[in-house]
Chains A and B, each alone.
Chain A
């Protein structure tokens, strides 16, 4: 079974530029998560989709971050414009069913973003 795929793996941009990350979850997984992980911290949930609907985006900075999951499969996370404090690893994860707290989440390798 193929794992969660993410691209790009690394990205360096200047502040105020835009950037987009792509995620392809495990085939058949209904729930998709985007996390932000700052160095030395645990993952912080940005947005959770179940199929192509948003379940939780309470911690997504909506003035600059946006995400979509078209057709309930792939997802894209965008930052526009980027700030220095957005430097982090952006992790995508998926889980098979409804995304309840007891479900195992399967993570991709992450995209490392550096904002200069």
Chain B
């Protein structure tokens, strides 16, 4: 079993839709949960960061961590064409410097 599983998609939605992106993980020791966004031909950039469990909201973006299910989610409300990108989950622990990266989910928001 991989440490992090992420459906690569692609996911195509109409403008204004609510998007749900997800990752599952296997190690209950993970504490840091991040979502990076990567536009085509660019490097990833941090979008959302959550420590331990719970929800975090930033504008149209909400990150959720369910440690009991080992499941993390990123919700995008009122999706825009500018949200078209690949979304990578990345998780880690304080005991290991290395982040574990998902494959990334490719999202296309159609006007």
Contact = CB atoms under 8 A, between A and B. Distances in A.
| B contact face: mostly helix, strand, loop, or mixed | strand
A12 B46 CA distance: 29
A61 interface: no
Interface residues of A, number: 25
A91 B99 CA distance: 15
Contacts, number: 64
A109 B42 CA distance: 5
B61 interface: no
User: In the complex, which range does the number of interface residues on chain B fall in?
Assistant: 20 to 34
Interface of B: 6, 8, 31-32, 41-46, 49, 51, 88, 90, 92-94, 96-99, 101-104
Interface of A: 4, 40-45, 48, 55-56, 91, 93, 98-102, 104-110, 112
